[in-house]
Amino acid sequence: MTATDAPLQQHSIDWQTGRVQAIVTETSRVKSIILQPARWSGHWPGQHVDIRLTADDGYQAERSYSIASPPEEQLLTLTVERVEDGEVSPYLLDELRVGDALEFRGPIGRYFIWNQTRGGPICLVAGGTGITPLMAMLRHRKMSRPNIPASLIYSARSLADVVYWDELDTMARGDLNLRLVYTLTREHPSDWNGHLGRVNEVLLAENSFTREQNPTFFICGPAGFVESISSMLVKLGFDPFTVKTERFGPTGA
């Protein structure tokens, strides 16, 4: 493994209380929470925070959420999907209000990260809300070095489930170095001329640059999704060391 993955930082990541500045409805099942940290020393695109909720009887629940905002922004954006019967995500979507205090710590993780100094090309593959950390990378790319070749393959259940559709659309318009590819797995509009069904080897091969271009892959989504995409990439001949993965959920949902 490359020893240059990230500089060492050896300070503790303490819990802090952020203030919810805004809550944005992204889709029927997804909201973005915009948080003002009490203090923040910056982050790399791809990192996450841990959230901790405390009930009045002292019970606590912790979960991880990727940071969707780029390091250039002062406020942190988390994008959360509702997991039915979940303990934390329904709270964040239904109970949390602007002005509330939210306990969290971060930034966490120094492997699934990218920044413009590493260059490209980068090939990002998102399954559902797995788009979150990849969005931080794309936002950072846009604000720093938009000429770095990048592609995003984004698998969603339906068009209505695509998070950040408008922003991605605007981002890609006029950017010849950014390729956006959507595939819809469950429902699609009758006039949809994008891809259908799960990401397969053909779709990957066509949109992942060539081996000679030596792309770095960032794959994020449910465990089953990540597992299948990463093994397809190895089968296509890409070096496993260039394939970085982050798994969000235990199930292949």
Partner 1 sequence: MDRPPVSRGFKSKRHRSETAGLPPGQYLTTDFPVLSAGPTPAIRVTDWKIALQLGGSLLGKWTWDEFEALPQTTITVDIHCVTKWTKLNTVWQGVSFDDLLKVVGLSEPPDAFVMAHCDGGYTTNLPVADLVAGKAVVATRYDGLPLAPAHGGPARLLVPHLYFWKSAKWLRRLRFMPRDEPGFWESRGYHNYGDPWREQRYDGD
Ligand X SMILES: Cc1cc2nc3c(=O)[nH]c(=O)nc-3n(C[C@H](O)[C@H](O)[C@H](O)COP(=O)(O)OP(=O)(O)OC[C@H]3O[C@@H](n4cnc5c(N)ncnc54)[C@H](O)[C@@H]3O)c2cc1C
Question: Residue 223's binding partner, choosing from ligand X, partner 1, none, with beta-carbon cut-off 5 to 8 A by kind?
Answer: partner 1
Residue type, 218: F
**Distance between CA 101 and CA 52 in Å, rounded?**
11
For 24, the 3-state DSSP assignment is: strand
- Whether the CA torsion 43, 89, 245, 1 is positive or negative: it is positive
DSSP 160: G
Closest by Cα among 111, 134, 99, 162 to 3: 111
Site for ligand X in 73-102 (CB under 6 A): 79-81, 83, 85-89
Residue type, 190: S
**Distance between CA 151 and CA 59 in Å, rounded?**
43
> CB under 8 A: which stretch of 21-29, 79-87, 172-180, 206-214 binds partner 1?
79-87
Binding-site size, ligand X (CB under 6 A): 23
Is 15 a residue that touches partner 1 (CB under 8 A)? yes
In the complex, the smallest distance separating the C-beta of residue 143 from partner 1, rounded to whole angstroms, is 24
Is 236 a residue that touches partner 1 (CB under 8 A)? no
Greatest Cα pair distance in the chain: 58
> CB under 6 A: which stretch of 1-9, 119-127, 134-142, 241-249 binds ligand X?
241-249
Is 60 a residue that touches ligand X (CB under 6 A)? no
Binding site for partner 1 (CB under 8 A): 1, 3, 5-6, 8-13, 15, 17, 50, 52-57, 59-64, 85-87, 91, 95, 97, 100-103, 108-112, 223, 227, 230-231, 233-234, 240-241, 243-245, 247, 249-251
